[in-house]
């Protein structure tokens, strides 16, 4: 742990005033991912939540979804419920939603025609928005960086010797992909 009063951290900060010190890299990466996620379209999170709630809350909708998955030859998997604080689980949910995109889209279109439900209609509109699918592909791409970085922090054995290079790699990947260099 890093002590605030008399520690190497405090000493290094006083000796090298321009150094950037990070308390816990795992918490920092979680904060970065969560803050970046909040900037994305709110409709994307609503689509994920409403799709889960709609499908898991009705036996009829589950049966329709299973029929559609069989028709499209998609492996049947349960929808993943994602909680706002569980950013590490978001990629699994995003991948599952992308795998079943066409199935879910057609399933909700079928429900709109068959049952004329307002909730299904609003979800169907979101599935027809091509930007939502693009956002999901983007999220899958970015969350892969964070999850692969977080893997080294989850090992039982100490991998401190790899932390520096992995942290550097994460920063390089994020900067190369998302920061525009100034001339």
pLDDT at 81: 58
Instruction: Give me the residue label for tokens 């994020």.
Output: 174
Give the DSSP per-residue string, the chain.
Answer: ---SSSSHHHHHHHHSTT----S-HHHHHHHHHHHHHHHS-HHHHHHHHHHHHHHHT-HHHHHHHHHHHHHTT----PPPP--TT-GGGHHHHHHHHHHTHHHHHHHHHHHHHHH--HHHHHHHHHHH-HHHHHHHHHHHHHHHHHHHHHHHHS-SS--HHHHHHHHHHHHHHHHHHH-PPP-
* pLDDT one digit per residue (tens) for the chain, 183 residues: 445 566 777 888 888 888 777 767 767 777 777 777 777 778 888 888 888 887 777 777 778 778 888 887 877 766 655 544 466 677 888 888 899 899 889 888 888 888 787 888 888 899 999 999 998 998 898 888 888 888 777 777 777 787 888 888 888 888 888 888 786
Q: Phi and psi dihedrals of 142, rounded to 5?
A: -75, -45
Cβ(48)–Cβ(93) under 8 Å? yes
Q: Please state the domain extents for the chain.
A: 41-77+91-146
pLDDT at 137: 92
Cβ(123)–Cβ(108) under 8 Å? yes
Both tokens of 38, joined, read 């909040």
- 79 vs 40: CA distance, rounded Å: 21
């Amino acid at each position: 742990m890093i002590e605030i009063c008399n520690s190497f951290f405090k000493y290094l900060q006083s000796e090298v005033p321009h150094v950037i010190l990070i308390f816990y890299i795992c918490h920092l990466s979680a904060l970065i991912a969560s803050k970046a996620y909040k900037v994305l379209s709110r409709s994307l999170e609503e689509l994920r939540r409403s799709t889960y709630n709609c499908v898991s809350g009705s036996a009829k909708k589950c049966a329709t979804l299973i029929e559609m998955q069989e028709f499209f030859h998609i492996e049947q998997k349960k929808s993943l419920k994602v909680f706002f604080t569980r950013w590490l689980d978001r990629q699994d949910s995003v991948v599952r939603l992308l795998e079943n995109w066409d199935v879910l889209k057609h399933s909700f279109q079928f429900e709109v025609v068959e049952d004329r439900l307002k909730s299904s209609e609003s979800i169907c509109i979101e599935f027809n928005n091509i930007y939502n699918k693009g956002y999901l592909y983007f999220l899958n791409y970015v969350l892969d960086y964070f999850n692969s970085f977080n893997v080294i922090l989850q090992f039982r054995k100490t991998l401190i010797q790899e932390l520096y290079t992995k942290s550097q790699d994460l920063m390089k990947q994020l900067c190369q992909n998302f920061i525009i260099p100034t001339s």
